[in-house]
Amino acid sequence: MRLYFDPRNDQYVLPDVCGVEVSDMAEAWRVALEMIRKLRQEDPSAAQDWSGWTLHAVDSAGSVVFSIYLDSVV
């Protein structure tokens, strides 16, 4: 299945236009957590401003499959 990982807060949505093909939900979680960790490593100062942001995993129908609070991932 293809999932799209959209960071969002109350005001903004940064849509993932490419998505990632995953085989199951466990892989989807691993991909999401790895994306968050890479973003944090690339710009640690930006990660300090993640309060209120979530990463929504969205399927091709536009339904949110799961969400992760960005500031909760270490």
3-state secondary structure labels for all residues of 30-73: HHHHHHHHHHHHHCHHHHCCCCCCEEEEECCCCCEEEEEEHHHC
To the question of pTM greater than 0.95 for the whole model, the response is no
Q: What is the pLDDT of residues 21-68, one digit of tens each?
A: 999 999 999 999 998 888 888 877 776 778 889 999 999 999 999 999
